[in-house]
Structure 1
Amino acid sequence: MMKRQEQGTRWERMKKTCFDPETRKFLGRDGKNWALIFVFYLIAYTLLVGFWFGMIAVFLNVCVTVDKPTLTGMHSILKLNPGMSYLPRLSLLNTFNQVTAYPSSVNADYIQKAIQTLQKYSNTTHTADCSSGIPQDFPDLPCRFPVSTLGACEHPENEVNKGMPCFFLRLNRIYGWLPELANKTQFDKILIECTGQNAIDKSLLGRPKYYPEISGVDGKTYGYIDPMYFPFLRQDNYQSPLAAVQFPEVHRNTVILTECHVRGISNSEAIVQFEICVDSKVDVATKAQA
C-alpha cells in the first residue's frame, strides 16, 4: 500500500511521464535530445524535398521539351494515322446537327460556332502566302490558309438559312506528320468523300458539294486538302487546313446518318461520322397546327 501511495495517483504518473519537473524531461527526453531529433528530421526532409524537385527539374528539362512531344512518328500513340474531325460541333455530348431551312433561333448556335471557326483564320501573323509556291522559310513559317477557298461556305451564316449548312472538315494535328499520297500521278491532294452511312442514308443525303473540290478519274467529285500545309511542328499561329462540304439535295425533316472518309493517303483510316437534320418551314408549321 505504501509503495502504491509513493508512486502517486495514475494522473500524477501520467503528468510525470509527459513532463518530469525533477529531470526536466518531456516524454522521456531532455531539450538536447529533442533538438537533435528536430535537426535530424529537418535535414532529412530537406534533402528529400530537394531530391524531389531535382528529379522534377531533370524530367521537365531533359525528358520533356516545350517545342516537340517526347514520342513522335511511329513511337507516338497516334502513329502516323491522323483522325478527322468536323466543325462546328454543336454539342460535345453527341454529333447531332439540327438546323432549319429558314432564319430561326434553332440556327443561332450553329451560326455562332461556324463564325468562330473561321475567325481563327483572320490572324495572318507568322504565316506565309503559299499561293505562288512554298517559301524558303517553310516550315518554320507555316502556310496561310485562305478561307476564300471555301467558296460559299466562307459565309456559313447565309448558307444555313437556305437549308445548306456548311461542315468544315480537318485532319487532326500530328507533330511532324507528312501525308503519303497513294497515287501522286492521279491525285496530288488529300481527298475527302462524304456519303450516307447506309444505302437509305445515301439516297436521302444526295450528292454533296465540296469546297474546294476536284474531279477524280472514277467520275466522282471529292473535296480536298492541299498537302502543302504540312507538317505541323507547333509553329506560331499554325492554321489547320479545312475542306467544306454541303448537302444541297438533303431530304428535309429526316435525321440522316452521314460519314466522311479520307481518300488517297496510304495506310489511313480517318473517318468522321455525324447526323444531319434540316427542318423545312412548311412541315414545322404543319406540326405546330397538329
Structure 2
Amino acid sequence: MATNNDANQPLGGTAIKPKGWDRSGWESFKYMLYDPDTGKVLTRTPMSWFKIITFYCIYYTLLAGFWLACLHVFFLTIPEDTPRWTLDESLIGSNPGVGMKPIMDDEHIDSSLYILNLGDTSTAPTNKEGEGTKNADIIRRMDLFMERYNNNTGLHECADNDDANKGNCIFNVDVLEDCAQPNYGFMPIDGKVKPCFFFKLNKIYNFNPEPIMAADLDQPEYEDMSAQLKDTIRASANPNSVYFDCFGRFPADIEAVSLKYFPSTQSIPLKYFPYTGGNYQSPLMALQVEVSDKHVGQMVHMECRAWYKGVVHNKKDKLGLTQFEIMLNPVPK
C-alpha cells in the first residue's frame, strides 16, 4: 500500500528543474558574477579560484624558468662572433668548393650553360637586375657583383707578406686586367665574344690554405695538375698562393678554346685568407675564354680546379672545382 512519502515521490523520468532555471537577462548575469546561495564568484567558489590561480602561477613560473635556463645554456655555449663548429668539426668541412661569376639569371639558376649571341649588340639589359638572357643581362649581373669591391670599410692595403692584416685585405680588381674592364668580354667586338669568368674559393670560416711549393709537384697527389700550371708554380715569384687550373673536359672541348688567365700567375695570394667575418672582399682569378670560329654553335664543356696543399677534387659534390658550359650562337642570316 502506498504511503504519503510515495505519493510525494516524483515519478521516474520526471525532470527536476534546478533552482534559478528560469532566470534570464540581467538577473542571470548578476548571479553569474556572484551567487549568494553558494558564494560562487564567476561560477567558482573563492577556494576554487585560489587553487587554480596557485596551480597556474607555479606551472608558468617553472615553465619560464625552464626556458630561461635553456636560453642561458645556449648563449653560454654559442660564441656571438664566430661559428661554434669550424673546418673539419663543421658540416661544411675544410675543402671549399669553387665559386663562379657571373651568376645565372633566376629562371636558369640551376643551369651552368652560358649561351652568348654573337649578333646581340644591345647594351640595354632586360631590367635593372639583369634578369634576362641577353648578353647585356650577364654584364649587368656582373656589374652588381663587382659593386661590393667599392666598400673598403675595415680593410687594408696589404703586401704579400703582411701577416698583421692577413684576411682583411682590399682586393684590387686591377689585377684582373682586361677582364676588369666594362662588358667583361661578353659584348661582341669585331664579330667575336671573349667572355671572362671569375673564380673564387667559397668562404669557410677560418679556412687558411697551405701553398703548394715547387718541390711538392712530383708527389702523386699532383699528377692531375697540368704541366702548364706546374711550370707556372715553379716560375712563380710568390708561391704562397692558391692556384687555378682550367681546361676543356673532353678532347673536342680542348681544341675548341684558347684560354687566358688574369693574373697570368693563375693564382690568388694567401694574404686574403682566412675569412673571419665582417666586411670581406673575396679574391678573384679571371679566365678569358675564346671559342674558335669553327666551333661556334658547339657546346663547350669546361672545368676549373683549385690547387693548394691537401685539396680534394670531387666532381659529384663539386669540392675543389667547378664545371660549366659555353655556347656561342652565330649571327642569324
Q: TM-score, normalised by structure 1?
A: 0.80
CA deviations on 1:116-160 (whole Å, 9 max, x unpaired) are: 12111112221111246416x323x71111000001111241521
Structure 1 residue 66 displacement after superposition: 2.6
Taking the TM superposition and a 5 Å limit, the aligned residue runs for 1:211-222 are 211-214=262-265
Taking the TM superposition and a 5 Å limit, the aligned residue runs for 1:177-216 are 177-183=207-213, 185=215, 186=234, 188=239, 189-204=241-256, 206-214=257-265
CA deviations on 1:249-269 (whole Å, 9 max, x unpaired) are: 353222222211112432332
Name the CA distance, whole Å, in 2 between partners of 1:100 and 1:224. 30
Taking the TM superposition and a 5 Å limit, the aligned residue runs for 1:17-56 are 22-25=37-40, 30-56=45-71
Residue 274 (structure 1) aligned to one of 324, 328, 331: 324
The amino acid across from 2:305 in the alignment is: H
Structure 1 residue 224 displacement after superposition: 1.4
Aligned to 1:125: 153
Name the CA distance, whole Å, in 2 between partners of 1:152 and 1:182. 27
Aligned to 2:98: 84
Aligned to 2:268: 225
Aligned to 1:161: 187
The amino acid across from 2:242 in the alignment is: I
SS in 1 for 2:296: coil
Name the CA distance, whole Å, in 1 between partners of 2:168 and 2:15. 91
Structure 1 residue 46 displacement after superposition: 3.1
SS in 2 for 1:157: coil
The amino acid across from 1:168 in the alignment is: F
Name the CA distance, whole Å, in 1 between partners of 2:309 and 2:329. 36
Name the CA distance, whole Å, in 2 between partners of 1:226 and 1:69. 25
SS in 1 for 2:254: helix
| 1:153 and 1:211 in contact (8 A); partners too | yes
Name the CA distance, whole Å, in 2 between partners of 1:112 and 1:209. 23
User: More deviation in 30-39 or 143-152?
Assistant: 30-39
User: More deviation in 253-262 or 144-153?
Assistant: 253-262
Name the CA distance, whole Å, in 2 between partners of 1:207 and 1:239. 29
Structure 1 residue 69 displacement after superposition: 0.8
CA RMSD of aligned residues (A): 3.1
Structure 1 residue 107 displacement after superposition: 1.1
| 1:166 and 1:246 in contact (8 A); partners too | yes
Aligned to 1:255: 299
Aligned to 2:128: none
**Change over 3 Å in CA distance of 1:277–1:266 after alignment to 2:** same
- Aligned-pair identity in percent equals 30
Residue 121 (structure 2) aligned to one of 91, 94, 103: 103
Give 1 or 2 for the bigger CA radius of gyration.
2
Q: TM-score, normalised by structure 2?
A: 0.71
> Within the alignment, does 1:73 sit opposite 2:125 as a pair?
no
